[in-house]
């Protein structure tokens, strides 16, 4: 029913926009990663592999990447541990309050990232709310310094930020489970624990995979929480990129690292999609 002209009019403008502002920038990132910087701090458009050689040789990049992945992995696990039981509770036990509780989970999701990271900074600081509270109730005699400016602070803040992200797809998956399957399992004599592990959990795996991917990927690339709360021991891979695009002025090397991140992220998305497909029942 739609003419060729209609299809062209709705297709061409978005196609052009997406090409110019998404596809071309990614390709530029690829090109930059093979260029270099002259001693006079100009970008030299001669193609070479120096940036990649440096990345392979210097251990600091690998150490930081591994640390970032370790932080992201912890955020992922904690978000799942907090998000899954919450989603399960809402979906199966919350009854009439389901809607209200659901809204209460998504509200923090859309509350400014910066506001939430800042709130944790004021809580964890050496004269922050938590330390002064501990001293007030005489649980501590002097401020605990390890709370702020540590990987712990970064993991805590990112878990706070990504738990609702993890919750959403799990909740959607649980809501899509036909309730008569659960009833059938009960009628056939399975205990609630068996029903959970043999029926409910396997059917929720696509949601778990989507949520876990979200938490891992978005924390992996974070640079604001480490800057604000991480201190020297909480530096992540994106912080190196930020400094290469700023004071350290080496865009090509920064582009090479970003491209590496892009490759890691896109392959993770690819695998998680495969996993979701494999486990989806519809």
Partner 1 sequence: MEFLVSGATGNIPRSRWLLAHAAAVFSFLYLPIAVLILYSFNGQGVGGFPPHHLTLDWYRLLFNDAPIWDSVLNSLQVAFAAMAISLTVGIPAALALDRAQFPGKKLFRRLVLLPLILPGIITGLSLLMLFNVMGAKLSLMTIVLGHGTALISVATTEVFAGLQKLDRAQEEASLDLGANYWQTFWRVTVPNLKLPIIGAALLIFTLSMDEIAVSFFLIGRDNTLPLEIWGRLRRGITPEINAVSTIIFVFSLVTIVVWYRLRVRAEGGADVGAELIEAGSAKS
Alpha carbons 175 and 144: distance in angstroms, whole number: 43
Nearer to partner 1, 57 or 164 (CB): 164
Nearer to partner 1, 150 or 219 (CB): 219
Q: Taking Cα atoms as reference points, which of 233, 84, 75 lies closest to residue 161?
A: 75
Give min distance, CB of 26 to partner 1, in A. 6
Q: Can you tell me which of 86, 154, 203, 208 binds partner 1, judged by CB under 8 A?
A: 86
202-261: contacts with partner 1 (CB under 8 A)? 210-211, 213-214, 217-218, 220-224, 228, 238, 241-242, 245, 251, 254-255, 258, 261
C-alpha distances in Å from residue 165, one per residue of 63, 84, 87: 28, 11, 11
Q: With binding defined as CB under 8 A, does residue 189 bind partner 1?
A: no
Pick one of 34, 61, 88, 152: the residue that binds partner 1 (CB under 8 A).
88
Within residues 97-156, the interface with partner 1 by CB under 8 A covers 97-99, 101-116, 118-123, 125, 127-129, 131-133, 135-136
What binding mask, one character per residue, do residues 34-73 give for partner 1 by CB under 8 A, x or -? ----------------------------------------
The C-alpha atoms of residue 62 and residue 42 are separated, in whole angstroms, by 27
DSSP state of 187: H
Least separation in angstroms between residue 219's CB and partner 1 is: 9
CA distances from 222 to 9, 38, 117, 192, 281 (A): 38, 29, 12, 40, 34
As measured in angstroms, the least distance from the Cβ of 171 to partner 1 is: 7
Helix, strand, coil percentages (3-state) for the chain, rounded to 5, are 80, 0, 20
Question: Segment 6-25, which members bind partner 1 (CB under 8 A)?
Answer: 6-7, 9-11, 13-15, 17-18, 20-25
Contacts of 161 (CB under 8 A, 6+ apart): 113, 116, 117, 225
């Amino acid at each position: 029913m739609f003419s060729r002209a209609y299809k062209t009019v709705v297709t061409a403008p978005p196609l052009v926009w997406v090409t110019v502002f998404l596809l071309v920038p990614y390709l530029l990132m690829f090109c930059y990663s093979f260029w270099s910087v002259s001693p006079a701090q100009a970008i030299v458009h001669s193609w070479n592999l120096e940036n990649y050689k440096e990345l392979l040789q210097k251990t600091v990049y690998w150490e930081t990447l591994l640390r970032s992945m370790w932080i992201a992995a912890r955020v992922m696990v904690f978000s799942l541990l907090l998000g899954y039981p919450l989603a399960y509770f809402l979906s199966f036990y919350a009854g009439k309050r389901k809607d209200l509780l659901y809204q209460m989970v998504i509200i923090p999701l859309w509350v400014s990232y910066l506001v939430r990271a800042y709130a944790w900074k004021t809580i964890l600081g050496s004269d922050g709310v938590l330390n002064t509270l501990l001293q007030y109730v005489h649980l501590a005699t002097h401020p605990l310094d390890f709370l702020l400016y540590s990987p712990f602070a970064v993991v805590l803040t990112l878990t706070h930020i990504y738990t609702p992200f993890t919750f959403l797809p799990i909740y959607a998956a649980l809501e899509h489970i036909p309730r008569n399957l659960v009833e059938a399992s009960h009628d056939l004599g399975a205990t609630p624990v068996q029903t959970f592990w043999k029926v409910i959990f396997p059917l929720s795996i696509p949601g778990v995979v989507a949520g876990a991917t979200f938490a891992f990927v978005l924390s992996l690339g974070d640079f604001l929480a480490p800057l604000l709360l991480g201190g020297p021991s909480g530096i992540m891979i994106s912080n190196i990129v930020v400094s290469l695009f700023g004071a350290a002025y080496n865009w090509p090397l920064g582009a090479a690292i970003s491209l590496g991140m892009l490759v890691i992220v896109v392959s993770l998305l690819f695998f998680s999609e495969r996993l979701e497909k494999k486990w989806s029942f519809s």
